[in-house]
């Protein structure tokens, strides 16, 4: 923890003219950063709005009457279902591994993060393969029950709304698990033990102490999972759920109506704003900060015998469903393919491209995200809070819609540069942004800025504002507060944000597909190409490579948020902290 | 495949300053999966020495070319579905080509009258049927709405471009009201909610989920002759019915190519399309993917083995393209995918 060295002179805040000017300067830099980030994100959104306005009335009427009601209903049911599943799995598992000791607990705590490495569209594909009439499960069932044909018995259809909810829930719960666990892990033992001493049972302790304290984390994790659900296209389409995103594609591609699609996208954007608003309300209404003393970690209660193994089984279930089963299936397919035809050359090149693009994007996104979070924290103005919200919007747009919206501003820049260059040299330099990987990196930045700024903001929100005030009183300018207090304390949040962004960028498909340059493929686009000609078996290797490349950062993520290295800033130590809330 | 596309913009600009590429090149934006056209592109490079750069783009290919505008590197645009080709011409991202070799290669009915696009292969959308449970060998599309098939039909999403084109042909043939009745009738006969792809239809027929289903011809060849053992079984479980509109022919669609409006390498682009439509090109394209060639006598023997000879409906392809929006809206109105 950084010690605060009091400055020699300690002027009273507000009286020191030069100091005020300096703090204004730092504030201006942060403000400029927030404006820049918001502008970059707003560019494709504005392009989209302009496209939407160009629609003709008949398209709008058709969308309003025949498409939106059903799509809104399906989207609502899907979001509600995924919210329930991810909350139950995420919070339940996080609480079990924090508050109790049971066999294999440490292993479970780590492995619970793994589904994050598997793209939803891959998991959807695998479960259809496993559970369809000719798949291994039903084949075994027929053999045991003596049926010959699917028509003779009933079996739940995986291509359905419940199927989609369970599959998306099983893959997306780690967002909630991670954030909830990070908070449970640093919750004060004193509070929980006080509750226990006062006779509260385990359930009551959880419900009245742990859960309310974890609400900001839960809100963040849940909003990430829901936004991911909202912009998912691969899994929903494959599972036959007609969400808004799926409707956007049908309107655009089959009716040749990009404006109609943009109109649906705008409706979706409104939903996103609603989700983000609820998230902000859930964590912004109160402050959950505490003193800066390192908290005494919760000492987990041992669960003896059968109860312990039951906890192990409960934790193992989502790991098996969300990770082990799909990955085992992929591995089997990949091995079969490799034994038959060897490893294709393009895998290595695609892996390289994926790493370069995701890596570059991660650095940019985390830097911008930190800037936005710091601006929101230190420049306490409503405008800045709004800018912060705008910067987070990109995460919610379906990738292709975002990419199409982005095409026009990017290409406009490209063409201005190229025309100017040609005017001077007589030679066209080609397209600087869309002709290089820059367009893809910019798309990633827009799409994932919300993850970074949200995570870092949430990390910083646990640093009490009283510390800011104290530092300011001691003569520190905003820049100094940031450097000496926030940066060191928010480091775990920065690292977590970087890892999340990296994993998401590795998995990103639609924007990459539309914006990448000639002759470049990432693992995700390679997989998509193979799957789109029905050769998923060949794609299994690329799919496995995405998963493996995702496991490394996911494991690192788990270590960052592990109780062994609690984010000091997250101390929710004493009653005083609660009283302030 | 290289990483060279990823070098930062500044380096790229410097490279451009050093001088444009000397070797002849042609840039292809394709919405067909690259593995399906790579062999013909490779053969072209081998014959002409022209290097082919390709990028596989699905949704948004046209928007990208349009946005890139006068500096777009795109030379040749490869698209599936006549409506997409016509739409690209309408968007103003293609240019007319008047090349004697191409005109000689492609029958006039299979290219844009103004020369903006040409078909490169044909495929039919037909009815698959269980070899075991279905006796008949021919069917009309109209019969799919016959209640005797109640609970026995499988099909992919009604919003999939392949089905939208089929329904669009129905609108042209029957008129909008009758076509809507027909689509409703088909919906009432479905064994399950529309989902998956055409291969899944064959799979579901083998599994006994349904007896008949709708799919493209080439999937049958790909399943039966592929390396995947279970797909072989699906392919073997079905037969292709001689499927026609009452009093007409089979619904046929195309994949095709166009020269981009601002093509920087127009000569090479025209050469590539001429090669794709030549005897050698047609043999590779048709036989590789079990499609039909654009004219008789050049490849396609394998396709006929699995799907029989082609009997295209007499409807003009342009008509089918025209009704696509109406067909897609009809799918929503009758709740086909619900």
Confidence at residue A188, expressed as pLDDT on a 0 to 100 scale: 62
Which of A255, A415, A535 has its CB closest to that of B329?
A255
Instruction: Tell me how close the Cα of B104 comes to any Cα of chain A, in angstroms.
Output: 31
Confidence at residue A443, expressed as pLDDT on a 0 to 100 scale: 92
| Confidence check: pLDDT of A354 > 70 | yes
| Confidence check: pLDDT of A316 > 80 | yes
Q: Of residues B6 and A220, which shows the higher confidence score?
A: A220
The angle, 0 to 180 degrees and rounded to 10, between the axes of the packed helices A120-131 and A536-560 is 130
Specify whether B138 is located in the same domain as B117.
Answer: no
Model confidence over B227-257: pLDDT tens digits? 778 889 999 999 999 999 999 999 999 999 9
The band of B163, judged by pLDDT with boundaries at 50, 70 and 90, is very high
Q: Among A180-184, B57-61, B245-249, which range has the highest average pLDDT?
A: B245-249
Q: Do A242 and B6 touch (CB under 8 A)?
A: no
Query: What tokens were used for A236?
Result: 């929903």
In total, how many domains does chain B have?
2
Specify whether B91 is located in the same domain as B186.
Answer: no
Radius of gyration of chain B (CA): 21
Q: Of residues B319 and A578, which shows the higher confidence score?
A: B319
Q: Among A250-259, A348-357, B146-155, which range has the highest average pLDDT?
A: B146-155
Specify whether B100 is located in the same domain as B246.
Answer: no
Question: Which superfamily, per CATH, for A55-285+306-341?
Answer: MetI-like (1.10.3720.10)
- Residue B8 falls inside a structural domain: no
Model confidence over A383-429: pLDDT tens digits? 888 888 788 888 777 777 788 888 888 888 888 898 888 888 877 77
Model confidence over A195-218: pLDDT tens digits? 778 887 777 877 877 777 777 778
Please state, in angstroms and rounded to a whole number, the distance separating the CA atoms of residues A401 and A233. Answer: 11
- Residue B129 falls inside a structural domain: yes
- Residue B2 falls inside a structural domain: no
Confidence at residue A227, expressed as pLDDT on a 0 to 100 scale: 84
Full domain range(s) for residue B320: 124-251+311-333
> Is some CB atom of chain A closer than 8 A to the CB atom of B27?
yes
The B residues from 285 to 324 touching A (CB cutoff 8 Å) are 324
> Is some CB atom of chain A closer than 8 A to the CB atom of B3?
yes
Q: Residue B156 in contact with residue B195, Cβ under 8 Å?
A: yes
- Positions of E strands within A136-222: none
The band of B130, judged by pLDDT with boundaries at 50, 70 and 90, is very high
CATH architecture label of A25-50+364-520: Orthogonal Bundle (1.10)
Specify whether B104 is located in the same domain as B69.
Answer: yes
CATH 1.10.3720.10 region(s) of chain A? 25-50+364-520, 55-285+306-341
| Confidence check: pLDDT of A1 > 90 | no
The mean pLDDT value for A181-193 works out to 73
Query: What tokens were used for B266?
Result: 């127009």
Confidence at residue B119, expressed as pLDDT on a 0 to 100 scale: 94
Q: Among A25-29, A237-241, A344-348, B281-285, which range has the highest average pLDDT?
A: B281-285
Please state, in angstroms and rounded to a whole number, the distance separating the CA atoms of residues A235 and A254. Answer: 20
- Encode burial over A374-386: b for 16+ CB neighbours within 10 A, e otherwise: bbbbbbeeeebbe
| Confidence check: pLDDT of B9 > 60 | no
Confidence at residue B23, expressed as pLDDT on a 0 to 100 scale: 63
Specify whether B259 is located in the same domain as B295.
Answer: yes
Return phi, psi of residue A4, to 5°: -90, 120
- Residue B198 falls inside a structural domain: yes
Query: What tokens were used for B255?
Result: 């994949």
Residues in A closer than 8 angstroms to B63, CB to CB, are: 258, 404, 407
Specify whether B244 is located in the same domain as B256.
Answer: no
Element (H, E) at B95: strand B94-95
CATH assignment at residue B133 = 3.40.190.10
Confidence at residue B48, expressed as pLDDT on a 0 to 100 scale: 94
Instruction: Tell me how close the Cα of A48 comes to any Cα of chain B, in angstroms.
Output: 13
Q: Do A529 and B197 touch (CB under 8 A)?
A: no
The mean pLDDT value for A2-25 works out to 44
> Is some CB atom of chain B closer than 8 A to the CB atom of A392?
no
Specify whether B106 is located in the same domain as B44.
Answer: yes
> Is some CB atom of chain B closer than 8 A to the CB atom of A62?
yes
Q: Residue A372 in contact with residue A37, Cβ under 8 Å?
A: yes
Confidence at residue B126, expressed as pLDDT on a 0 to 100 scale: 96
Model confidence over A52-101: pLDDT tens digits? 888 777 777 887 888 888 888 998 999 999 999 999 999 999 989 988 88
Q: Do B71 and A431 touch (CB under 8 A)?
A: yes
Q: Residue A304 in contact with residue A312, Cβ under 8 Å?
A: no
- Residue B244 falls inside a structural domain: yes
The B residues from 180 to 209 touching A (CB cutoff 8 Å) are 192-197, 199, 203-204, 206-209
SS3 content of chain A, % helix, strand, coil (to 5): 75, 0, 20
> Is some CB atom of chain A closer than 8 A to the CB atom of B86?
no
- Residue B152 falls inside a structural domain: yes
Instruction: Tell me how close the Cα of A41 comes to any Cα of chain B, in angstroms.
Output: 19
The band of A170, judged by pLDDT with boundaries at 50, 70 and 90, is very high
Q: Of residues A205 and A105, which shows the higher confidence score?
A: A105
Which of B34, B324, B332 has its CB closest to that of A529?
B34
Specify whether B137 is located in the same domain as B172.
Answer: yes
Please state, in angstroms and rounded to a whole number, the distance separating the CA atoms of residues A156 and A103. Answer: 33
| Confidence check: pLDDT of B7 > 50 | no
Q: Do B159 and A250 touch (CB under 8 A)?
A: yes
The B residues from 94 to 153 touching A (CB cutoff 8 Å) are none
The B residues from 234 to 263 touching A (CB cutoff 8 Å) are none
- Residue B3 falls inside a structural domain: no
Question: Three-state secondary structure along A35-58?
Answer: HHHHHHHHHHHHHHHHHHHCCCHH
DSSP secondary structure code for residue A568 in this structure? G
Specify whether B112 is located in the same domain as B179.
Answer: no
- Encode burial over A544-574: b for 16+ CB neighbours within 10 A, e otherwise: bbbbebbbebbbbbbebbebeebbbbbbbbe
Specify whether B129 is located in the same domain as B105.
Answer: no
Confidence at residue B121, expressed as pLDDT on a 0 to 100 scale: 94
> Is some CB atom of chain A closer than 8 A to the CB atom of B59?
yes
């Amino acid at each position: 923890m950084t010690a605060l060295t009091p400055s020699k002179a300690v002027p009273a805040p507000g009286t020191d003219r030069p100091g005020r000017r300096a703090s204004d300067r730092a504030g201006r830099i942060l403000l400029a950063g927030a404006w820049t980030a918001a502008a970059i994100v707003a560019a494709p959104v504005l392009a989209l709005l302009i496209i939407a306005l160009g629609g003709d009335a008949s398209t709008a009427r058709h969308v309003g009457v025949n498409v939106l009601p059903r799509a809104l209903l399906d989207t609502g049911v899907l979001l509600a279902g995924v919210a329930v599943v991810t909350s139950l799995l995420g919070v339940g598992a996080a609480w079990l591994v924090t508050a109790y000791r049971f066999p294999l607990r440490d292993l479970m705590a780590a492995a619970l993060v793994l589904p994050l490495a598997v793209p939803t569209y891959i998991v959807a594909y695998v479960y259809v393969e496993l559970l369809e009439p000719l798949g291994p499960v039903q084949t075994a069932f027929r053999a045991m029950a003596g049926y010959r044909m699917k028509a003779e018995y009933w079996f739940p259809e995986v291509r359905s709304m419940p199927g989609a909810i369970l599959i998306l829930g099983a893959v997306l719960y780690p967002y909630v698990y991670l954030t909830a666990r990070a908070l449970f892990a640093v919750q004060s033992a004193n509070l929980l033990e006080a509750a226990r001493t006062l006779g509260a049972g385990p359930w009551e302790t959880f419900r009245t102490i742990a859960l309310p304290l974890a609400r900001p984390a839960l809100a963040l994790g849940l909003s990430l999972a829901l936004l991911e659900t909202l912009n998912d296209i691969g899994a929903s389409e494959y599972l036959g759920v007609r969400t808004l995103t799926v409707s956007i594609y049908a309107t655009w591609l089959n009716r040749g109506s990009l404006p109609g699609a943009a109109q649906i996208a705008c409706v979706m954007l409104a939903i996103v704003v609603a989700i983000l608003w609820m998230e902000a309300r859930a964590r912004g209404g109160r402050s959950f900060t505490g003193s800066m003393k390192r908290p005494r970690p919760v000492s987990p209660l041992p669960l003896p015998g059968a109860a312990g193994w039951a906890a192990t089984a409960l934790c193992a279930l989502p790991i098996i469903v969300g990770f082990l089963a799909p990955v085992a299936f992929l591995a089997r397919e990949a091995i079969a393919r490799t034994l038959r035809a060897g490893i294709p050359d393009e895998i290595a090149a695609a892996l390289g491209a994926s790493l370069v693009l995701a890596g570059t994007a991660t650095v940019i996104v985390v830097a911008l995200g930190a800037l936005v979070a710091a601006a929101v924290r230190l420049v306490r103005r409503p405008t800045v809070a709004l800018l912060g919200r705008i910067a987070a919007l990109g995460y919610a747009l379906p990738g292709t819609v975002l990419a199409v919206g982005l095409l026009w501003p990017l290409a406009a820049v490209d063409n201005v540069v190229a025309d100017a260059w040609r005017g001077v040299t007589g030679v066209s330099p080609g397209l600087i942004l869309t002709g290089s990987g820059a367009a893809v990196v910019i798309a990633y930045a827009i799409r994932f800025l919300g993850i970074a700024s949200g995570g870092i903001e949430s990390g910083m929100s646990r640093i009490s504002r009283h510390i800011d005030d104290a530092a300011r009183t001691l003569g520190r300018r905003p820049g100094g507060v940031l450097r000496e207090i926030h940066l060191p304390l928010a480091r775990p949040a920065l690292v977590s944000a970087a890892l999340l962004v990296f994993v998401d960028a590795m998995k990103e498909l639609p924007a990459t597909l539309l914006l990448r340059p000639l002759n470049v493929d990432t693992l995700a686009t390679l997989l998509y190409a193979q799957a789109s000609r029905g050769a998923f078996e060949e794609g299994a290797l690329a799919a496995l490579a995405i998963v493996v490349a995702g496991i490394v950062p996911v494991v690192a993520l788990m270590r960052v948020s592990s109780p062994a290295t609690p984010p000091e800033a997250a101390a929710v130590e004493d009653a005083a902290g609660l009283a302030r809330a | 495949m290289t990483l060279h596309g990823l070098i930062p913009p500044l380096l790229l600009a410097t490279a451009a300053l050093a001088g444009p590429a000397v070797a002849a090149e042609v840039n292809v934006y394709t919405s067909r999966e690259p593995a399906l056209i790579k062999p013909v592109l490779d053969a072209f490079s081998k014959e002409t020495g022209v290097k082919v750069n390709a990028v596989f783009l699905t949704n948004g290919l046209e928007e990208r070319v349009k946005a890139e505008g006068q500096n777009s590197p795109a030379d040749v645009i490869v698209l599936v579905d006549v409506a997409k080709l016509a739409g690209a011409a309408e968007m103003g991202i293609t240019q007319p080509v008047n090349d004697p070799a191409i005109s000689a290669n492609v029958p006039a009915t299979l290219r844009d009258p103004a020369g903006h696009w040409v078909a490169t292969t044909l495929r039919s959308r037909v009815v698959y049927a269980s070899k075991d449970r279905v006796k008949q060998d021919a069917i009309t599309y109209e019969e799919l709405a016959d209640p005797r098939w109640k609970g026995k039909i499988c099909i992919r999403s009604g919003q999939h471009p392949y089905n939208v084109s089929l329904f669009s042909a129905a609108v042209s043939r029957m008129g909008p009201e009758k076509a809507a009745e027909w689509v409703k009738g088909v919906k009432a006969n479905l064994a399950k909610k529309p989902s998956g792809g055409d291969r899944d239809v064959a799979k579901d027929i083998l599994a006994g989920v349904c007896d008949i289903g709708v799919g493209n011809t080439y999937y049958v060849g790909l399943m039966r002759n592929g390396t995947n053992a279970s797909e072989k079984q699906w392919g073997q479980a079905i037969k292709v019915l001689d499927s026609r509109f009452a009093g007409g022919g089979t619904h046929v669609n195309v994949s095709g190519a166009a020269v981009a409006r601002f093509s920087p390498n127009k000569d090479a682009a025209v050469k590539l399309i001429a090669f794709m439509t030549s005897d050698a090109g047609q043999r590779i394209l048709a036989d590789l993917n079990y499609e039909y060639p654009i004219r008789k006598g050049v490849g396609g023997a394998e396709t006929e083995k699995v799907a029989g000879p082609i009997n295209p409906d007499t409807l003009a392809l342009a008509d089918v393209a025209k009704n696509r929006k109406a067909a897609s809206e009809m799918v929503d109105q009758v709740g086909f995918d619900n």
